Amino acid sequence: MTLTRKARIVEVGPRDGLQNEKRAVATATKLELIDRLADAGLRDIEAASFVSPKWIPQMADHGELMRALKRRPGVNYPVLTPNLKGFEAALAAGAEEVAVFAAASESFSRKNINCSIAESIERFDPVFAAAKAAGVRVRGYVSTVIACPYEGPIAPQAVADVAEALYARGAYEVSLGDTIGTGTPATVERMLAAVARVVPVERMAGHYHDTYGMAVANVDASWRFGVGTFDSSVSGLGGCPYAKGATGNVATEDVVYLLHGLGADTGIDLDALVDTSLWISGVLGREPGSRVTRALVARRGELVTAC
């Protein structure tokens, strides 16, 4: 008897996806998106980030959003917190899981959170302590795990060092971000191998942006490596405000299609997810960024161009 391997998808569209939108997205729209994603079977939905509104105005409604969220049993709604101020605001708004985010590149760290890598880890110490006291789970992110928009290629050991620091401080999982999407299966596997020496593979997650169209291949390589958790955004929404030209995350629909094709159990209803992708694309006035969605819609005989 072969047991189906379970895959976990962390939907980051409402945060990573919408943090880069030029037009303001109403809080009610974000809440509806989160609700629809939960309807489609997503159980981890990154809802917002408690960062400075001067840096990321798109996430300025974080408190209002978290307070209005209709939480469902069994669904996690993590939020990003760059420092204790963000953590305290997130806790006051009812967050039960937070994510701290560091980078493997000094230049990106400075551009993104205005401090060095070492300073960022020091800043997270009080967040880890406060989270432990409050019973809040902490996820850790490492950005620029393959390359940095300012420095170029990043050594796998540099990624492993930051991942190890976050894991040692109590991150239950370390998400590895190919922020600018330049990775290929070969570079991703080298990076995973370095991180796996210091973080158990079942505590590693892949967070791949699709700028070069390699993200699905990188998910496949990571799955074969033993990674079982992937971050993705519905319709491939997003980009990084501090990585010019970087596109959104790999589309959730594309990851689900791939994983189902590999025989994995994601717990996600692909048809409902496609409907959510069509809906949010319509609201934002563009075509769905997922090739799987476009193909399935064409097959349904109802190709709608949102623009």
Residues forming the site for ligand HMG (CB under 6 A): 16, 19, 49-52, 54-56, 80, 82-83, 85-86, 101, 112-114, 141, 143, 177, 179, 207, 209, 240-242
As beta bridge partners, residue 137 has 97
302 Cβ neighbours under 8 A, 6+ residues apart: none
Residue number with the shortest CB distance to ligand HMG?
Answer: 177
Separation between Cα atoms, residue 5 and residue 283, nearest integer Å: 35
Residues 6+ positions from 111 with CB-CB distance below 8 Å: 150, 242
In whole angstroms, how close is the CB of 50 to ligand HMG at the nearest point? Answer: 5
240: annotated active-site residue: yes
Residue 108 contacts residue 68 (beta carbons within 8 Å): no
Residue 52's φ and ψ, nearest 5 degrees, are: -70, 130
Report the residue number, 16 or 253, with the smaller CB distance to Mg ion.
Answer: 16
Residue 133 burial (C-beta neighbours within 10 Å; 0-12, 13-18, 19+):
exposed
Q: Which is nearer to ligand HMG, 83 or 293 (CB)?
A: 83
- How many other β-carbons are positioned within 10 Å of the β-carbon of residue 174? 27
Largest CA distance in the chain: 55
Shortest Cβ 4–Mg ion spacing (Å): 28
Work out how close the CB of 304 gets to ligand HMG at its nearest, in angstroms, rounded to a whole number: 29
Nearer to ligand HMG, 92 or 298 (CB): 92
Q: Binding Mg ion by CB under 5 A: which of 9, 11, 13, 16?
A: 16
Name residue 23's amino acid. R
Please choose which of Mg ion, ligand HMG, none residue 86 contacts, taking the beta carbon within 5 to 8 angstroms, the exact cut-off set by kind. ligand HMG
The binder of 83, among ligand HMG, Mg ion, none, by C-beta within 5 to 8 A per type, is ligand HMG
Active-site residue identified among 115, 148, 240, 307: 240
Q: Which residues are catalytic?
A: 240
